[in-house]
Amino acid sequence: MKVEIFGLSFLPIQLLMLSALATCTAKPTNTASEVIVVNTTAADDSSQHPNTELILSADNDTGVSTKASTVNAADNGLNEIESEYRVEYAKKMLTYMNQSVEPCDDFYEYACGNWKNVMVEHQSQHKRSNLIDIFYSLGEAIQQLLLDEKQPRDDFVYKEELNLTKRIYSDCLAADIYPLQKSEVYLEVIKSIGGFPAVDSSWKPDNFSWFNMSAHLTNYDVIGLIKEEVLPQYPFPPYFKLPDLGFAYIVHSDNIHLNSSKELNEKLMRNYLRLYGVDDEQKIDQIITDIVNVWSAILNITKNFDEDLAKCEVLSAVVMNEEMFPLWDSYLEIAWNGTQFELEDEDTWPCNYFYNQLDKVCNANKEAIANYFALKFIYRMDAHLQNKKFQTEHCNTMIQFTLPHLLDKIYMEEYFDNEMHGEISDIVKEVRKSLREILEQAEWLDEKTREQALLKEAAIKPHIGSIENKNIKN
């Protein structure tokens, strides 16, 4: 199951690239790139002014602008649909402008000053960008697919999975997730995988395994002390990075005691503990202190290899001659239903030195580790909504990241027709032609290197559409 859900985690990037290409090529499109390109052409050739006239006509009534666009289309070799779209896009661009400002005083404010007032509001932890907006647009396209009541074709391979996805998506939209509330379901899950001693007086450390709880957390896409990634090639084996310590604010040796990251992480932990019924402030302070102390102890281990796993491998094999950490079979049983990957151990498991030392720290601080893992689980399940109105956006994102392979198939079937395939193929050919010309004309390449580079370029086989893996059978 994990293979199907997480094994193709590269697909959201593919979808973004596909969306970007589709945006550039579909008619009507939704990008300024063609306007920019033609404007440049018009600027170079004083005999052509179609785009200038189109932009000016966008302030006039529809009839005038449509007439002008039709004339310009004929002059510029555009069809009527393309021309009308450019008129509409020009109108849209004009809404971004702040025409109350003199362009010579502040051109950026003149050209873009009203953009922030007309753009659709989104919840984001990052600065607004075109790439992020494409991601939101892709989410809206997925939303339309999942809310569509028509049944997929009988021969659609993933019909059952699509219906399940629609149900999950519908449940997400209907869920009461803002503001954040205590969840008994979450507490039951936490208790079943290791426990939450802060709120459970019956918790005992004797049978607690920090490693097993970490392994269970990977099934919920939670990073405990196993940071699992999955290779995007069959058989989709796991590989590992150093675990991130902290919550939204990751701690390292150089920032763990800085006021900003310390206060933000502590505030978050305090809020979760209060939400789940810990009302003794002294107890809360002690729980947080114990967790931070464990972070410090773990960072003291990673300082020995500069938080670099490659250096850790050298330290482990050459300097310390470490024995292999013995619990990875337990991880495979919990996280992968016992799947055995046909890889050498040194290619699969992370640094033995780190996990052998980590085992000592965690076994000496079982209660703090269990509380930390429980809080990490709650943090991961938190939608982090700033407002109820962003719930649909949250559900779009959740579905995109959870079921990328399925959504890729649905998206391609719905939108990626032969016409679009041909247009993207033309773009690929033009890009390759341009790159080949660069190689042919590059003065800094000697002839032998140029010949090798051109041979490599000629050997590249373009692949447009979904990646099909012959090792996978439906």
Per the prediction, the chain carries an average pLDDT of 82
Bridge partners of residue 246, in order along the sequence: 250
Per-residue confidence (pLDDT) for residue 213, from 0 to 100: 99
Per-residue confidence (pLDDT) for residue 405, from 0 to 100: 80
% of the chain exceeding 70 in pLDDT = 79
Which amino acid appears at position 195 of this protein? Answer: G
H or E stretch at 217: helix 210-218
Max mean pLDDT range (74-83, 148-157, 445-454): 445-454
Per-residue confidence (pLDDT) for residue 149, from 0 to 100: 84
| DSSP class of 276 | T
Q: Which residues of 424-452 are buried (b: 16+ CB within 10 A; e: fewer)?
A: beeeeeeeeeeeeeeeeeeeebeeeeeee
The answer on pLDDT for 52 being more than 70 is no
Max mean pLDDT range (10-14, 253-257, 363-367): 363-367
Confidence class for position 48, pLDDT limits 50, 70, 90: very low
Angle, to 10 degrees, between the axis of helix 391-402 and the axis of helix 11-25? 110
What is the homologous superfamily of the domain 184-382 according to CATH? Neutral endopeptidase , domain2 (1.10.1380.10)
Confidence class for position 403, pLDDT limits 50, 70, 90: confident
27 Cβ contact list (under 8 Å, min separation 6): 81, 82, 85
Per-residue confidence (pLDDT) for residue 415, from 0 to 100: 79
Which tokens go with 182? 């205590």
Per-residue confidence (pLDDT) for residue 25, from 0 to 100: 35
Q: What is the CA radius of gyration of the chain?
A: 28
The answer on pLDDT for 13 being more than 70 is no
41 Cβ contact list (under 8 Å, min separation 6): 48
Per-residue confidence (pLDDT) for residue 252, from 0 to 100: 93
H helices present in 45-158, as ranges: 50-57, 62-76, 80-95, 107-112, 115-118, 130-147
Whole-angstrom Cα distance, residue 10 to residue 263? 34
| DSSP class of 305 | G
The answer on pLDDT for 78 being more than 70 is no
Per-residue confidence (pLDDT) for residue 410, from 0 to 100: 82
The answer on pLDDT for 69 being more than 80 is no
The answer on pLDDT for 382 being more than 90 is yes
The answer on pLDDT for 364 being more than 80 is yes
Confidence class for position 246, pLDDT limits 50, 70, 90: very high
> In 10 A of CB 415, how many CB atoms?
14
Whole-angstrom Cα distance, residue 428 to residue 271? 51
The answer on pLDDT for 314 being more than 80 is yes
Domain-wise residue ranges, the chain: 10-25+121-178+386-416, 32-119, 184-382, 427-474
End-to-end CA distance of the chain: 13
Higher pLDDT among residues 113 and 40, named by residue:
113
Per-residue confidence (pLDDT) for residue 417, from 0 to 100: 85
The answer on pLDDT for 343 being more than 90 is no
Per-residue confidence (pLDDT) for residue 131, from 0 to 100: 81
Whole-angstrom Cα distance, residue 214 to residue 226? 6
Whole-angstrom Cα distance, residue 375 to residue 280? 17
Per-residue confidence (pLDDT) for residue 44, from 0 to 100: 40
- Cα–Cα–Cα angle for 49, 55, 56, rounded to 5 degrees: 90
Confidence class for position 402, pLDDT limits 50, 70, 90: confident
| DSSP class of 246 | B
Per-residue confidence (pLDDT) for residue 453, from 0 to 100: 94
The answer on pLDDT for 317 being more than 80 is yes
Which tokens go with 354? 């780190």
**Contact present, 229 and 220 (Cβ < 8 Å):** no
Q: How many helices (H) and strands (E) does the chain have?
A: 23, 2
Whole-angstrom Cα distance, residue 224 to residue 372? 8
Residue with the two structure tokens 């919990």: 334
**Contact present, 466 and 424 (Cβ < 8 Å):** no
H helices present in 255-384, as ranges: 259-275, 281-302, 309-314, 328-336, 345-348, 352-364, 366-381
Which tokens go with 27? 């008619």
Whole-angstrom Cα distance, residue 410 to residue 426? 24
**Contact present, 346 and 186 (Cβ < 8 Å):** no
Whole-angstrom Cα distance, residue 31 to residue 4? 34
Residue with the two structure tokens 């407002």: 387
Range scoring the smallest mean pLDDT among 11-25, 108-122, 361-375: 11-25
Whole-angstrom Cα distance, residue 328 to residue 356? 12
The answer on pLDDT for 32 being more than 50 is no
The answer on pLDDT for 429 being more than 90 is yes
User: How many residues in total does the chain contain?
Assistant: 474
Confidence class for position 414, pLDDT limits 50, 70, 90: confident
Model pLDDT for residues 86-120, shown as the tens digit of each residue:
898 899 899 999 999 999 999 999 999 998 888 88
Per-residue confidence (pLDDT) for residue 47, from 0 to 100: 37
Confidence class for position 472, pLDDT limits 50, 70, 90: low
ω before 28 within 30° of 0 (cis)?
Answer: yes
Model pLDDT for residues 461-470, shown as the tens digit of each residue:
888 876 666 6
Confidence class for position 471, pLDDT limits 50, 70, 90: low
**Contact present, 249 and 265 (Cβ < 8 Å):** yes
Whole-angstrom Cα distance, residue 132 to residue 93? 19
